[in-house]
Amino acid sequence: MPVQKSMLAKFPWDERYKISSVEDVMTPALVVYPEFIASNIERTLALLDGDADRWRVHIKTAKLGYTLEMLIERGIRNFKCATTLELLVACQRGAADVLLAYPSVGANARRVREIAEQFPYVRISVLVENEEQVRQWQGSRVGIFLDINPGMNRTGIEQSRSDEVVKLVRTIGAGGLEFRGLHYYDGQHRELDERERAKAAHHGYDRLLEIVKEIERLGVRVPEVITAGTPTLPCSLSYNGLRSAEFTHRISPGTVVYSDACSLLQLPEKYGYRPAVVVLTRVVSHPRAGIVTCDAGHKAVSADAGVPTCVVVGHPELTPLSPSEEHLPLEVEAGAAGPQVGQVLYLLPRHVCPTVNNFDDALLVRNGEIESVEKVSARGHEAPLLLAEGKAVSAGDWNRKG
């Protein structure tokens, strides 16, 4: 099976990934390297001329409270998240400003209001795209960002509907809510050719700035504009209209904190990002000639970005095939010996964000030694039942109630 061109085909071995006491590790295991995380954070800040205020980190990748604290220690105070659990963990770990960048309705919106009341010193914002969503936030202390659809067609107001945007800005003001800016996630631009990606993204930014002008004609200031996940980070950095604008422009990549096989291709090599997370696995079977199987199926390494799901670090002769829940077959290049049953392998995920979300715990490894076991504290979701006062009910709470 040929490796897709949209993914890194190989990644060389580096002794800094090696775990000395690997015989004690149950696999599959999520392994996190704080030295590489620190380096990736510094690389990003360098791209922003050292201004930590320009980065609104999406913590769907970071997930660990440990990693959030590393970001905060380096002066980063603005975050973006996708779930109420991520919002809660960010508030608990010291974030100053958090945008829940996901449409919240019904009980989810009630839970956000409760978290906002619980952490009055944290500046919490939400996304809206219609009048009904605006009304549900009236009387709360949350701020409002308008979600603009840049053509990804996932959420938001179509970019061509500036009239609808202006109407909603008026509705926000009339409802006594604070308009905090525009959210614009141009995640559909993933072309490997950086020039083509920049051309497409810059065309979108031209239209985005026209929306800003339409709002300003109302006499309303646009405080902040958020763009760019990881693939369009270079595009936002190279667009002068965002850098020279009167509003605060923030970028919101999250994958760069850990990096993965896809982001290594999407970002210029000169940026110097380094994978900070791998999945440790063992070969468990040799079902036939030319195939070995390890214990890292899609319940360990996410398959959402396609097959192959990962790169076997230091083993260009091994190509990951289609996984099942617990099994990951690897094709062995003709003529190569291949690993033996029981051998440990290190996997670089194609998409690190949902891979981190697959694990309850992570091994923190520094200088080859396991330093600690850290909870992946923002993985998954909060308990699904909400009481009238806006508090999520866990299974234990419900059973004690009964």
With 90 as the cut, is the pLDDT of residue 345 above it? yes
Band (pLDDT 50/70/90 cuts) for residue 397 is: low
Burial class of residue 122 (count of CB atoms within 10 Å of its CB; 0-12, 13-18, 19+): buried
Rounded Cα distance, 280 and 154, in Å: 33
CB 250 within 8 A of CB 226: yes
At 350 the three-state DSSP class reads: coil
pLDDT in tens, 174-212: 999 999 999 999 988 887 788 999 999 999 999 999 999
At 395 the three-state DSSP class reads: helix
Q: Are strands 369-375 and 385-386 parallel, antiparallel or unpaired?
A: unpaired
pTM of the model: 0.94
Rounded Cα distance, 72 and 79, in Å: 10
pLDDT in tens, 28-77: 999 999 999 999 999 999 999 999 999 999 999 999 999 999 999 999 99
Rounded Cα distance, 150 and 166, in Å: 16
Question: In sequence order, what DSSP letters do the residues of 233-293 get, joined into one string?
Answer: HHHHHT-HHHHT-SSEEEE---GGGT--HHHHHHS-GGG-----EEEEEEEEEEEETTEEE
Q: Which residue has 């760019």 as its token pair?
A: 228
Q: Are strands 78-81 and 97-100 parallel, antiparallel or unpaired?
A: parallel
DSSP code, position 2:
P
Both tokens of 19, joined, read 């775990």
With 80 as the cut, is the pLDDT of residue 262 above it? yes
Band (pLDDT 50/70/90 cuts) for residue 401 is: low
Q: What is the pLDDT of residue 193?
A: 86
The Cβ of residue 119 has, within 10 Å, a number of other Cβ atoms equal to 17
Q: What's the whole-number average pLDDT of the chain?
A: 94
pLDDT in tens, 203-245: 999 999 999 999 999 999 999 999 999 999 999 999 999 998 9
